[in-house]
Amino acid sequence: MQKQAILTLTALVLLFSACVDNEKTASKAASAGLQLVADANPAWQYENLRLFPIVADAALVEGQQNLAGLKTLAESIKTQGFRITEQKQFGRSDDRTYNLLTVQNKSRDTVYILSGDVVTGGKQDRVIANDQIVMPATVRNMDVFCVEKGRWSANDTLASPSQQKLYAFSGYYSVASPKVRQAVQRTGSQEQVWAAVASVTEANGASSKTSTYAALETANDQKNLRDAYLRFFDGKLDQEPRVVGMVAVCGDEILGVDIFGHPDLFRREYASLLHGYVAEAAMAKCEKQANEYAVKTAFGKVAALADPQAKATETAGKFVLGTQWVHLFSK
């Protein structure tokens, strides 16, 4: 009897402690100008995928107005003067370089590249390793991982002969799925990235001779199913002018959290992010209901990084530009 009472008391203490921690993280998020919208709204759920919008207060939006002008990679890759190629070799070396690409920005735009962005073309499709800003009149290398295992030659039918000669990347695919992003951000292992790509493509029936992530574009029943998700959520959050991010949940599984420093930036990244989330949710057996406490906890851990003094952790990332945070995300 006494043992049972002790166990019950311990459970109550743990529950109280968890509630206090949740309140603290919610308080920190609110003080940073961020709030999770956890209302039951059928407009934000399709089948097993539920989106929880994250909104910014007016002061945060006004204070980070300059971030609204950042161009995304999806926009910039079509812009004259902006180009991504296989790494430029300076000197006589012609070694294969799998994990570096060269980005050249001759445009007037400041370009924001997101960890998880997938580019197609070159000698192998790649996924960008780290969030970064590419200023105008800049040429430099950036870290990437391969997401196409069986190719090392130009075969981009969309590229011009001059682009093929330079091994340029003429295509932008999407932001990769949570599994692939996690392999990139947590492990830093090419083998783990390939394993994640294989897991997602196989689940979606998207096989290809070169084992590329972009094989998800292959027409089949699974793609039709994913397209239904994408159509449902298309522009869904556009009616919320201060939405800066979302928590994506499949059943009771947290797929990820993404928060951006300005609503305009989030709206332009939204479709690409959603593509990655759907690639996993549409094929998953997530039948339980979202756990509100778990959702709030996941949000709180990421939103807490809005504090200028807070640092990234093993499971939550932060990208800043000067003194402003641009992107907070779960890993």
Q: How many domains does the chain have?
A: 1
pLDDT at 259 over 50: yes
Residue 15 forms part of a structural domain = no
pLDDT digits (tens, 9 = 90+) for 72-88: 999 999 999 999 999 97
Q: Considering the domain boundaries, does residue 41 fall inside one?
A: yes
* Separation between Cα atoms, residue 118 and residue 129, nearest integer Å: 10
pLDDT-derived band at 245 (thresholds 50, 70, 90) equals very high
Comparing 24-28, 61-65, 106-110, which segment has the lowest mean pLDDT?
A: 24-28
pLDDT over 70, % of the chain: 85
Please compute the mean of the pLDDT values over residues 39-68 and round it to a whole number.
95
Residue 9 domain-assigned (yes or no): no
Does residue 14 fall inside a structural domain? no
pLDDT score of 21 more than 80: no
Question: Residue 84 is part of which domain span?
Answer: 28-330
pLDDT band (50, 70, 90) for residue 40: confident
Mean pLDDT of 165-193: 93
- For every residue of 85-150, DSSP letters joined together read EEPPP-SS-----SSEEEEEE-SS--EEE-TTEEEE-SSS-EEE-S-EEE-SSEEEEEEEEESBTT
Determine, yes or no, domain membership for 52: yes
pLDDT at 14: 45
Segment 50-71 shows an average pLDDT of 96
Residue 95 has a pLDDT of: 61
Residues forming beta bridges with residue 50, ordered by sequence position: 45, 249
Residue 51 has pLDDT above 80, yes or no: yes
Give domain status of residue 273, yes or no.
Answer: yes
